[in-house]
Amino acid sequence: MSRSRPLVVVTRRLPEAIETRMMELFDTRLNSADEAMSKADLIEAVKVANVLVPTVTDRIDAAVLAHANPELRLIANYGTGVDNIDVDAAYKRGITVTNTPGVLTEDTADMTMALILAVARRLTEGERLARSGDWGGWTPTSMLGHRIHGKRLGILGMGRIGTALARRARGFGIAVHYHNRNRVHDTVERELEATFWDSLDQMLARMDIVSINCPHTPATYHLLSARRLKLMRPHAYLVNTSRGEVVDELALTRMLRDRELGGAGLDVFEHEPAINPKLRELPNVVLLPHMGSATLEGRVDMGEKVLINIKTFTDGHRPPDRVLPAQV
């Protein structure tokens, strides 16, 4: 980079402490309006930036990167995933991509556990009833949910978040099962008393609760297809705090409507921020606006990682959270 202070373009508002530090360190262009950038806006950003700081909702694809100026050398993603960035296209243009792994593990695992409890115990239905003014008082058969103690939880994706969820589930007396590309170390399995399933189909057919904790990649798009969803037990619950694209949302909506599944807790959606109107109408679904990682502590930690990645890179070193294309 030829500039002594690289121009850093940030696509959305970040915590105030992070923006202040960023302006101290770099020539920084902030998005004070905090409105999502259009594709045209993103193209204008990559035309001038030395460093781009997008968020998970900014689609930095090959068409956007085709307009990048030669001095754009780093995309420091404000997010744990990079499915919003065409990492292959960036790599071919000599642009380094970084993310912020690890900092949101506990927050997302907390929210996943909260959704498991909320959908099984019908918390949002009860809250709506209490607010409605129509509650007639306690009765032995009203608002009956299901006990989670003793149930079987199938975790799809036993990475950091999946493992953190498993630890929480054990505290609730839930039996932990998991499917993963690779089996976790036997010491972790023993600690969590976790059962590995090589076959996702077989695991789905035997679980009371299924939690999606794998990333969205071309290989995981609609991993829970209509066929696989049909394998789940009619009383089972599906919880997703990962990415909406992992599930065939139309098939899921139909099954929930027809009571072919017990319920679902969803923090992410296939076409967010749009949510299928039919999904919104269902009483057996808990819907959240992609807030699984939404803690102040987590957002600041993400920003700190972004700052470290940018500073390390601009100082001429390899950033700690570099992401490479799958084939490299």
> What residues are annotated to the active site?
243, 272, 290
Q: Concatenated DSSP letters for 231-289?
A: HS-TT-EEEE-S-GGGB-HHHHHHHHHTTSSSEEEES--TTTT---HHHHT-TTEEE--
Rounded Cα distance between 293 and 104, Å, is 6
Partners of residue 178 on adjacent β-strands:
155, 196
Q: Phi first, then psi: give them for residue 239, nearest 5 degrees.
A: -125, 135
Residue 122 Rama label (left phi>0; alpha psi -120 to 50; beta): left
User: What's the token pair of residue 245?
Assistant: 């694209």
Residue in the structure block whose two tokens are 């978040």? 161
Burial of 1 (0-12, 13-18, 19+ CB in 10 A): middle
